[in-house]
Chain A
Amino acid sequence: MIEAIPHTLSTQGWWIVSRSSAVVAFVLVTASVFLGLTMAGKPVRKPGFAKTMRALHEQTALAALVAIGIHVFAVLADPWLKPGVAGVAIPFVLSLNRFWNGIGVIAAYLAFLLGLSFYLRKQIGARLWRQAHRATIAVYVLGLFHALGAGSDTGSLLFLAFAGVTAIPIAVLFVYRLGAARRNSERQRLAARAGRRAGARAPLADTLYDTV
């Protein structure tokens, strides 16, 4: 077996790199999405918790982008697959597992766009960035389907166990976040209405105070 390793690496090295980086990318995207949803839901209100979560979320997201980049480059360099630049850059061009690889390309674009938009949030506006950032769950969902449909290692029990075990809390947290976002917007609406009423009464109150 040892003597077969150089031959394996020379013929299938890029495939091994693409498979390994894909698993790493999926694990990191899962971790990043999980941390992001946990942060947004604010289930723990300990001092320093948010800061730690934010740092971990950012680091896992950046590491995931690096892993996705390596995965794309390894697929491009695979001498057996020969996808060409169009095959990895344009969704649904690669005819091997056309649909599943197509959604993988879309997931990669979304990951870079939504991930790196964090550093441009001052330019695009915090509100718009926050709205766009909510779509990051799509990166995870598309990535999961891409892995299940086109992945070489998705038949392994370990991968299926990881995907299944992590998908459930992510789904629960996502639903919790949607509920929290709805409650927040309702609270803001009520606060704005109360503010308007208080603003309308303020001059009268001031006048009264002045006269007393």
Chain B
Amino acid sequence: MTTPRPRAVFIGSLSLFVVLFVVLTFELSAGASSSTGKAQKTAKARPAPAETKTDSTPEIEEEAPSEYAEPEEPAAEYVEPEYEEVPPVVTTSS
């Protein structure tokens, strides 16, 4: 077996890099030219810049105005109170 030349590995790696670079450039350019589809995919891959800051940079958080939501309470039904019939107490007074 012959010892492989280091150049072969480097040329192979460089070729793969160039192919990937060209494919990705075309893919992103196609996404940029068409407003839908891949552009949305790209936006998904790269989230909002605010998320990318490191901890060293202080973040100013803006609270989104919260919408007032009426608490939903179940309508209380009127229930007839149950009571025992107490026989009238007859008191005799002498």
Interface positions of A (Cβ within 8 A of B): 1-5, 7-9, 12, 15-17, 19-21, 23-24, 27-28, 46-49, 51-52, 55-56, 59-60, 62-63, 66-67, 80-84, 86-87, 93-96, 152
B residues less than 8 Å from A46 (CB atoms): 1
A16 and B46 form a contact (CB under 8 A): no
Q: B20 to A4, Cβ gap below 8 A?
A: no
Q: Which residues of A contact B10 (CB under 8 A)?
A: 59, 63
Indicate which residue in B17, B29, B32 contacts A67 across the interface (CB closer than 8 Å): B17
How far apart are the CA atoms of A80 and B52 in the complex, in Å? 9
Subset of 15 A-B contacts with CB under 8 Å = A5-B25, A7-B29, A8-B28, A8-B29, A16-B25, A23-B16, A24-B13, A24-B16, A48-B2, A59-B10, A66-B13, A67-B13, A80-B52, A82-B52, A83-B52
Contact in complex: A16, B28 (CB < 8 Å): yes
CB neighbors of A among B5-60 (8 A): 6, 8-10, 13, 16-17, 20-21, 24-26, 28-30, 32-33, 45-47, 49, 51-56
Q: Is the CB of B4 within 8 A of A59?
A: yes
Does B1 lie within 8 Å of A49, measured CB to CB?
Answer: yes
Alpha-carbon distance A83/B57, docked complex (angstroms): 10
B66 CB-CB contact with A under 8 Å: no
Q: How far is the CA of A3 from the CA of B33 in the complex (A)?
A: 9
Query: Which chain A residue lies CB-closest to B23?
Result: A20
Q: Quick one: given A28-B13, A46-B1, are A8 and B52 in contact (CB under 8 Å)?
A: no
Question: Which among B8, B47, B55, B56 has the greatest number of chain A C-beta atoms within 10 A?
Answer: B55
- Measured CB to CB, the closest approach of chain A to B24, in angstroms, equals 5
**Complex formed: what's the CA distance from A3 to B29 in Å?**
8
Interface range, B side: 20 to 34
A residues in contact with B29, CB < 8 Å:
1-2, 4-5, 7-8
Chain B nearest Cβ from A65, distance in angstroms = 11
B51 touches A19 (CB 8 A): no
Q: Is the CB of A20 within 8 A of B24?
A: yes
Q: Which A residues are CB-close (under 8 A) to B47?
A: 96
Interface centre among B3, B10, B13 (most CB of A within 10 A): B13
Can you name 19 extra interface pairs (CB under 8 A) apart from A52-B2, A84-B54? A1-B26, A7-B29, A8-B28, A16-B24, A19-B24, A20-B21, A24-B16, A24-B17, A27-B13, A46-B1, A48-B1, A51-B1, A52-B3, A52-B4, A56-B4, A56-B9, A59-B6, A84-B56, A95-B52
